[in-house]
Structure 1
Amino acid sequence: MKRLITAVLAICLLVPAAVFAGGSKEGTGAQDGMIQIEFWHTMSGVNGGAIDKLAENFNSTIGREKGIIVKSVFQGNDNSEKLKTLAQAGDFRNFPDIAQIAGAGIPSAITYEQLVPVQSMFEKGGSTLTRDEIEPNMLRAYTYRNQLVGMPVSCSAILLFYNQDMFRSVGLDPNRPPATIADMAQAISKLMIKKGSTVDRYGLNVAVRRYQLSNFIGGQGTGNYFGDNEGGRTAPMTRVTFGDDGTLMAFLNEWEKVINTGGYKPVEDNINEEFALELFGMAIMSTARIGIVTNLVQDNFKWAVAPLPKVKATDTGGISVGGSCVVMFDPAKDSSRVNAAWEFVQYLASPDAQFQFHKDTGYIPVNRKVYELPGVDQWFAANPSYKVAVDAIHASNPIVQEPFDIINWEIDSVIREHMLNFATGKETKQQCHDAIVRECNEKLAAYHRANS
């Protein structure tokens, strides 16, 4: 027995302290000086593997050099709700050091005392990354009241996916995708196949929700806002403005042409798989779907992506930045942890990390220096779909963004319900318009009354 105890003690002395401290939320492995940073992300599957790979690369390079270990943790699809739940319980010590959140989560994040705005880290000086390296549209996406709150990391763009072989078979030019909604309606009429009243093949599949509508509203003219206070970026958004300025009705007038074709599917079931099965000729999806669709389609047919069709041919606003950023917190009131987290955040937005993440996932690089890296031109030449997304963002006005509408899930529900009712004939165009404007404003007013 004595020999067994002696052997166990000898093994314990040989095992690094980090092994025992590895699961600790508090962070410092006292015996080896390592600082552990907890990073909550929202990515699964291929994208989750890509984000975990970045954490592993950091740990084996910069982290090893500077004594930092990043623990990458998948927390489901909505970190903002998890953070909100912890905050409501007053459990701020269990906040992560870094969390990946969508732009819609920024209005909640700024209310937490533990938040460390990314801008404050830039202002301290001594950073390896500069603000000027980050794409202007992406900086704007996560800026509130002129303060950069989160670091852009996984940014996407909304695009039109279309089946080039199908276009060719019905007499449409496979290299000239629809430029406007009216053009898209004409293409739908040619692409759809009907047997009596049954649609065997649709021309287009997309469910118009908050994300899609914010792009169609924002892209009008030279650029437009979804709601007051610049869509919630200069102060909390209190009401939608697309009813007052006419942009919602302008969109609905054009979208009615899509509905009237009879070849539009307004509900998304398995949009990736159905596009691959050629159940419709066009779909409106995020650039983050390019890799998924590529794997599903393989060599079965030729397809491509194009910029989102405009409401009017003269519109130049472009599209908004989709995807997410990372925000930093100081749950332990420990400046060494904050500085260690900042090292990882800078790495995530660095040119090399962003190029690798882009190749692995299809998300658009947030760092402008990516385009100076060796092999980039060859990559985009071999993967032209990704370049379409990059060019679309570069051609867009930075003011065109998803709104900071605080109750984004409720706004999304309102838009989804009434756009579906319009598409299925349950509501007229005017009824759809008035209901969206009224209910969005009612819900925003109710929120502000309850949280004054």
Structure 2
Amino acid sequence: MVKMNKKLCLSLLAVLTAWTTAACGSGNGTSNNGGAANPAAGSAPSSASSSAPAAQPASGGDKAPVKVLMWHYMGGNLGKTIDQMVEKFNASQKDIKVEAVYQGSYDEALNKMKASMDSKSGPTIMQANDGGTRYMVDSKAITPMQNFIDEDKYDLSQYEQNILAYYTLDNKLNSMPFNTSNLIMYYNKNLFKAAGLDPNKPPATFEEMRKASQALTKNGVTGISFSIESWNIEQLLANQGAEFVNNGNGRTSPATESIVNSEAAVKTLTWWKSLVDSKLALNLGRKVDDVKKAFAAEQIGLMFATTASLREIVNSANGKFEVGTAFLPKPDDAKEGGVVVGGGSLYILNNQPKEAQKASWEFIKFMLSPEQQAFWHINTGYFPVTKKAYEHPSVKENMDKFPQFKTAVDQLHATKINKATQGAVIGVFPEARQLVENAVEEALNNKKSPKEALDAAAQNITAKIQTYNKTVGK
């Protein structure tokens, strides 16, 4: 039996407590990094079991199916969609029986996983969000997905390379991406026309954003608003080739220092604050839902939000106005960059029997097939992680109905893979994001200058990273 590092478990219990107030991290019930589309809080899939039942001999001497237990944090419609996919898999063959169980929020699910490791009563498949990547690897609780890929000679060329890049550490894919999104800009084309702006030419730079906001801000409308989420800062930095932590965003070697107070970060927060100070941007706090409501009410003309909310945002316009979408803006002098994917991935745990692990791999391959990814995309708004899913008739039909989604796909494909766009990997991401959000609030509320606020955040994040590294022996 492979056990998780006990010191690591104790240390990260505090981290996971901090994570409960973070969001795919924020108060909107979605992930800070590409959260769920319309998750109904408290609505769980039908199954309530916490462990897989022991396999029983089948009648007539037939071999009993291998039991696979999957734990996930997708509530509401997302969880129901997973249940439907599981039912399709179970009906497609008789050798494997999968049970998917909703375990509450990401942090709650991970705490339950940790508690189950010694007893082996936990899952074989664990869904973890993108911010948990470093922790899951350091826990020593997983069998790297690369093992199954290599053994199966599985072709990864069918997958979106920008998505695979996030979950690749040391040239090894540790988990399989599943629910994936990124951040895009939404704008009200009707308000653009009324302000004398070209509705087919959205702003592409920080300065163009300012000019557009100046034109839009009149008659009870404010130019822009975006929620105080660390994910917004992370995306705006990646889009200009700037990293979040040192050592290649923790990918060349484990991060030892936060660089969220870099020149690029200070300039970005200074730009954000200047929009608020000039009353060209509304500060609506940390909840992206509040920003989406203001956009639907035509109180603002521009906003940032996850692609997983695209259908919700378009439908909320309710025919009153046309929703436009565009790439995230960047400074005029920005280096090459792009967006970082958000969402979550699937891990196979190593304290379960080899037979169950191999069965889990077969199920994961089914979940990531073009047909199932098309089904997942249509019902949730998340990206398909396989390119062939875009050829599916249902996806083409959805693209015709929601042409704005093409922006998200194009932005993903335009992203150049580098350490900035691969995204940061640190074991204390929940706490780091809270500290960044505190810093943004302090700057926007004139308690500290942008540089002072980010300097303090960087210092505190660095201390937490170094404590974590000592705990896991890095």
User: When the two structures are superposed, what TM-score results if normalisation uses the length of structure 2?
Assistant: 0.81
Question: For the Cα contact (< 8 Å) 1:208–1:415, is it kept in 2?
Answer: no
**Cα displacement (A) at 1:126:** 5.7
Shift of 1:327: 0.8
Select 1:392's aligned residue among 378, 392, 411. Answer: 411
Question: Deviation of residue 312 (structure 1)?
Answer: 2.8
- Can you give the 5+ residue segments of structure 1 that lack an aligned partner in the other structure? 1-21, 195-199
Aligned to 2:469: 448
Task: Return closer, same or farther for 1:392/1:313 CA change in 2, 3 Å cut-off.
Answer: farther
Could you tell me which residue of structure 1 aligns to residue 364 of structure 2?
345
How far off its partner does 1:257 sit? 3.5
Which residue of structure 2 lines up, in the alignment, with residue 291 of structure 1? 311
Change (3 A) 1:55 1:450: same
Higher Cα Rg, which structure: 1
Pick closer, same or farther for the CA change 1:94–1:83 going to 2, 3 Å.
Answer: farther
Q: Superposition pairs for residues 280-319 of structure 1, below 5 Å?
A: 280-312=300-332, 314-319=334-339
1:8 is matched with none
> Counterpart in 1 of 2:138?
111
Aligned to 2:162: 137
Equivalent runs, 1:322-361 vs 2, <5 Å: 322-332=342-352, 334-361=353-380
Distance 1:228 1:85 in 2: 31
Secondary structure at the aligned position of 1:153 is classed as: strand
Contact 1:96–1:331 at 8 Å: present in 2 too?
Answer: no
Relative to structure 1, the CA distance from residue 50 to residue 274 in structure 2 (aligned partners, 3 Å threshold; closer, same or farther) is farther
Equivalent pair of 1:182/1:254 in contact (CA under 8 Å): no
Matches for 1:21-40 after TM superposition, within 5 Å: 25-31=52-58, 33-40=64-71
Cα 1:329/1:414, change in 2 over 3 Å: same
Q: Secondary structure at the match of 2:422?
A: coil
Residue matched to 2:250: 232
Instruction: Work out the CA distance in 2 between the residues paired with 1:167 and 1:94.
Output: 56
Partner of residue 164, structure 1: 189
Q: Distance in 1 between matches of 2:144 and 2:117?
A: 20
Q: What's the TM-score, normalizing by structure 1? A: 0.85
Residues 120 and 66 from structure 1, CA distance in 2 versus in 1: closer, same or farther, beyond 3 angstroms? Answer: farther
- Residues of 2 paired with 1:322 and 1:23: CA distance? 27
Aligned residue number for residue 18 of structure 1:
none
Point out 4+ residue stretches in structure 1 off by more than 6 angstroms. none
5 Å-filtered alignment, 1:258-273, equals: 258-266=275-283, 267-269=285-287, 270-273=290-293
Matched, 1:55 2:86: yes
Q: Which residue of 2 aligns with 1:13?
A: none
Contact 1:201 1:263 in 2 (8 A): no
Report SS of the residue matched to 2:105. Answer: coil
Aligned partner of 1:368 in structure 2 is: 387
Q: Partner letter of residue 281 of structure 1?
A: G
Contact 2:378–2:395, Cα closer than 8 Å, also in 1? no
Structure-1 separation of matches of 2:68 and 2:54: 6
Match of 2:99 among 59, 71, 90: 71
Per the alignment, in what secondary structure is the counterpart of residue 468 of structure 2? helix
Does 440-449 or 131-140 show the bigger shift? 440-449
One-letter amino acid matched to 1:87 = K
In the comparison of the two structures, how many residue pairs are matched?
Answer: 416
Q: How has the CA–CA distance of structure 1 residues 90 and 367 changed in structure 2, closer, same or farther, with 3 Å as cutoff?
A: closer
Structure 1 residues 436 and 185: CA distance shift in structure 2, 3 A = farther
Secondary structure of residue in 2 paired with 1:441: helix
Confirm or deny: 8 A CA contact 1:58 1:347 kept in the other structure.
yes
Deviation of 1:27 (Å): 4.3
1:24 Cα deviation after fit: 5.7
Q: Kindly indicate whether the alpha-carbon contact (under 8 Å) linking 1:184 and 1:258 is maintained by their aligned counterparts in 2.
A: no
Give the residue type in structure 1 aligned to 2:104: G
What is the CA–CA distance in structure 2 between the aligned matches of 1:274 and 1:393, rounded to whole Å?
A: 27
Seq. identity, %: 27
1:77-92 to 2 correspondence within 5 Å?
77-79=105-107, 82-84=109-111, 86-87=113-114, 91=118
Deviations 1:265-296 (CA, angstroms, capped at 9, x unpaired): 23144333332222322221100011222333
Matched AA of 2:373? Q
Look up the SS of the partner of 1:72 in the other structure: strand
2:165 and 2:183 map into 1 onto residues whose CA distance is: 17
* RMSD between aligned residues: 2.4
Looking at structure 2, the residues matched to 323 and 140 of structure 1 have their Cα atoms a distance apart, in angstroms, of: 13
- 1: CA distance, partners of 2:207 / 2:274: 7
**Which AA in structure 1 matches 2:257?**
R
Q: CA deviation at 1:346?
A: 0.7
Measured in 2, the distance between the counterparts of 1:318 and 1:92 equals: 43
Return the alpha-carbon distance in structure 2 between the equivalents of residues 429 and 243 of structure 1: 9
